[in-house]
Amino acid sequence: MGIERREEARFCFCLFCLRFDHIRRRRRRQQRTVISSSCFKIPPIISVFVFMLLMSSPVFPATSAKKIRRDHHVFRPQEETNKMKLVKAHLMKINKPFVKSIQSPDGDTIDCVLRHHQPAFDHPKLKGTKPLDPPERPDGHDEGEISSENHQLWSLSGESCPEGTIPIRRTSEQDILRANSVKKFGQKIVRPVRRDTSSYGHEHAVGYVSGNKYYGAKASINVWAPRVTNRYEFSLSQMWLISGSFGHDLNTIEAGWQVSPELYGDNRPRFFTYWTNDAYQTTGCYNLLCSGFVQTNNRVAIGAAISPLSVYNGGQFDISLMIWKDPKHGNWWLEFGSGTLVGYWPASLFSHLRDHASMIQFGGEIVNSRSWGSHTSTQMGSGHFSGQGFGKASYIRNMQVVDWGNSLIPLSNFKILADHPNCYDIKGGANRVWGNYIYYGGPGKNPRCP
């Protein structure tokens, strides 16, 4: 018999032979019979096909499926499940029931929440209280001041929140998952804080006054869309009201605009607020992401995108901000735009700022993560140095402070400081139209800032 025929014989498959073999095992005393002639032979190609068919039978996937299920549990450990539970619980806490929701062109959802249901009243010191009536504005505040109308993208559709409600940007599951932790969501990174140098990658170009008691501040801040190179960095322009030592008891109130991919999931400049009474350790947060700030306005959404924006060598747009201490109740009120009261920070939130601020700052701040081993290319302001001037560099104009008599006054003993002037710089000045002003900003990484 040739080799090919012997190979064919190996694949001989006979149902009758198999059945006979089965009977033989049960009846050992039966005479062995060989019925080779009844077998039929399968050609080699069909034999291979049968072999492959057997190897792909459901027996094998059954075993693999068990393995896949075990691997699936490794891929999603119990810690991940617990994290998602925390995320959902936190969303339930900060996303309050609403009477209306509005879709913004940038993808945000704005919820209209009853004023007395807002997050502020979850704070132990504010439970059971109600929003206060507007206070008296500082003397010298020009109600008829000509300024750009304040716009936010969500309101361009013509929709608005009903009276008795406030607009709140809805927080999504993705927003929280981008944060370092659920517990720290909406808070700044804990870091040592100093007014005269950068710390933990935070770099500044600011103008400031200190040495007196300050009861508020006002300024118009030029709005741009600076490039932020990664989600762990941000770029902002704002004013700070500061009191206490630059240690663990620092109190701050902050407001302005910021680009923060981690917090918002995009690169749009957004109106923001912040507060802390322990140097960013455990208290305070951005916007309304924790209890504290009491909003009273139904037209401004804190954390929503600003529109329009300034254009390099083209039209310029700025937002007017004023923060001042109500002489009657002691709370710190915020005005955004021309005469639009947003709400207030209750004095009870603070220790040192319960009385007054000891320093006022105006300017820009970025985070430099040095993710590629060199200085970041995240821009501050317009992304151009101060020397380029109007239409090209970012500015803050009409900077004033509020004195003990609730009057707006010009700055005195004004100083400027840039942590790394080769990366971001600043220059100040004063004139009859703009009062005290600064130009500031820069591109970050460049030949002089490696």
Q: For the range 344-348, what are the long-range contacts, defined as Cβ-Cβ under 8 Å and sequence gap of 24 or more?
A: 344/132, 344/293, 344/294, 344/296, 345/253, 345/275, 345/292, 345/293, 345/294, 346/125, 346/126, 346/292, 346/294, 348/125, 348/126
Burial of 14 (0-12, 13-18, 19+ CB in 10 A): middle
CA distance 224 to 314: 12
Is residue 365 part of the annotated active site? The answer reads: yes
Contact (CB, 8 A) for 296 and 134: yes
CA distance 61 to 12: 27
Burial of 409 (0-12, 13-18, 19+ CB in 10 A): middle
Helix (H, G, I), strand (E, B) or coil at 126: coil
- Provide φ and ψ at 357, rounded to 5°: -95, 150
Helix (H, G, I), strand (E, B) or coil at 18: helix
Q: Quickly tell me which residue has 């014989």 as its tokens.
A: 9
431 phi-psi bin (left φ>0, alpha ψ -120 to 50, beta other): beta
CA distance 165 to 303: 17
- According to DSSP, residue 88 is labeled H
Among residues 203, 233, 335, 365, the one annotated as catalytic is 365
What six digits make up the tokens of 144?
């008829």
Among residues 203, 233, 254, 335, the one annotated as catalytic is 254
Q: Where in the sequence numbering do the catalytic residues fall?
A: 254, 365
